[in-house]
Amino acid sequence: MPDQTAGPTGRPDAPHRPDLRGDCARCFGLCCVALPFAASADFAIDKPAGKPCPNLQGDHRCGIHARLRQKGFTGCTVYDCFGAGQKVSQVTFAGRDWRDGSREDARRMFEVFPVVRQLHELLWYLTEALGLPAARPVHADLRLALEKTERLTLLPPEELTELDVGAHRQDVNVLLLRTSELARSAVRGKKGKGKDRRGADLIGARLRGADLRGASLRGAYLIAADLTGADLRGADLIGADLRDADLTDADLTGAFFLTQPQLDAARGSEGTRLPASVTRPVHWAARG
């Protein structure tokens, strides 16, 4: 869940795009209503889709925002809508609060929100890809994909609910894969791209001090992996599961397609070096 201060969250632009940052002040608490969650290590209770979380207040703010981890809602602290909340609230539904309309309007808003959230995540990746000099050979195609994705986010509700987001994601992914190849090759120079660990099961892996420069870790399972002091410069981290991964003193300089929720789910230290697209999680400083 994004920071609940008034206005933008203060997270880095995406990059330099405030509209791809969650702005709770302009959203109707959609992530706290539209999305389901189950009692687990991430959530203290069960909640079905479309039902407001009991912690949601009348002003659409979270009543336990400052104590989410202590109250058993860690899952909320590693969630980001990439600005989809305010887009759906203020643009798609023109500022109409789901509490004030009909049940049908509310249902439609809750169905649209996860669709727009996926599109905004793609906008984040495409925007970052366009900022990678090594990806210049595909910049024209990336711009076209960005423009198309932007147009899709502006579709009316009835068209958004019928949109085949999966097909669009596949089209964009072809470009992101090519971007990854170009960027990783630039990192490794004459040595070529780094290791391909795409989708690898690295749960609990001992990777302390590992050389992962320019590696593809797309969709890799790095849950509770020990990456202390690892060299992840220029690595592709799109979709990598970093829950409880130890990034203490690791170097992620130039790592790309790394989102704030991924980083928030990991552990790290003041010595962890990060790309400019993310910020050091506050809870890292609280480690004992």
> Which residues are CB-neighbours of 102 under 8 A, at least 6 positions away?
none
Q: Give the whole-angstrom CA distance, residue 128 versus residue 16.
A: 9
Question: Given pLDDT bands bounded at 50, 70 and 90, which one contains residue 2?
Answer: very low
Query: Residue 249: what pLDDT?
Result: 97
Is the CB of residue 244 less than 8 Å from the CB of residue 264?
A: no
Record the pTM: 0.89
Would the pLDDT of 287 be above 80? no
d(CA 52, CA 127): 32
pLDDT recorded at residue 277:
86
Instruction: Give the pLDDT confidence score for residue 190 in this predicted structure.
Output: 56
Q: Collapse the DSSP code of 236 into the 3-class scheme (helix H, G, I; strand E, B; otherwise coil) and give the result.
A: strand
Residue 101 pLDDT = 78
Q: Are 2 and 11 in contact (CB under 8 A)?
A: yes
Q: What burial class does residue 81 get, using C-beta atoms within 10 Å of its C-beta: 0-12 exposed, 13-18 middle, 19+ buried?
A: buried
The pLDDT score that the predictor gives to residue 10 is 35
| 82-141: pLDDT as tens digits | 999 999 999 999 999 999 878 888 999 999 999 999 999 999 999 999 999 999 999 999
Per-residue confidence at 195, pLDDT binned at 50, 70, 90? confident
* Domain made up of 194-288: CATH architecture: 3 Solenoid (2.160)
Query: Is 7 within 8 Å of 76 (Cβ atoms)?
Result: no
Q: In this predicted model, what pLDDT tens digit does every residue of 25-41 receive, in sequence order? A: 999 999 999 999 999 98
The CA-atom distances, in angstroms, between 38 and each of 45, 60, 109, 114 are: 6, 21, 22, 17
Give the per-residue pLDDT at 192: 57
pLDDT of residue 102: 81
The residue behind tokens 């643009």 is 91
Q: What local confidence, expressed as pLDDT, does residue 236 receive?
A: 97
167 half-sphere exposure, CB direction, 13 A CA radius? 4
Q: If you average pLDDT over each of 6-10, 57-61, 63-67, 205-209, which comes out highest?
A: 205-209
pLDDT at 3: 46
pLDDT in tens, 250-272: 999 999 999 999 999 999 999 99
Per-residue pLDDT for 188 more than 80? no
Burial 40-67 (b: 16+ CB within 10 A, else e): eebbbeebeebeebebbeeebbbebbee
pLDDT, position 18: 86
Find the mean pLDDT for residues 275-279.
Answer: 89
| Residue corresponding to tokens 């049940």 | 103
User: d(Cα 280, Cα 234) in Å, to the nearest integer?
Assistant: 18
Mean pLDDT across the chain, nearest whole number? 90
Q: Where in the chain is the domain with CATH 2.160.20.80?
A: 194-288
Nearest residue to 92 via CA among 134, 154, 170, 152: 154
What's the pLDDT at 191? 64
The pLDDT of residue 288 is above 70: no
- Extract the tokens encoding 11: 């997270």
Confidence at residue 283, expressed as pLDDT on a 0 to 100 scale = 84
Rg (Cα) of the chain, in Å, rounded? 19
Neighbours of 1 (CB within 10 A): 23
Query: Does 4 score more than 80 pLDDT?
Result: no
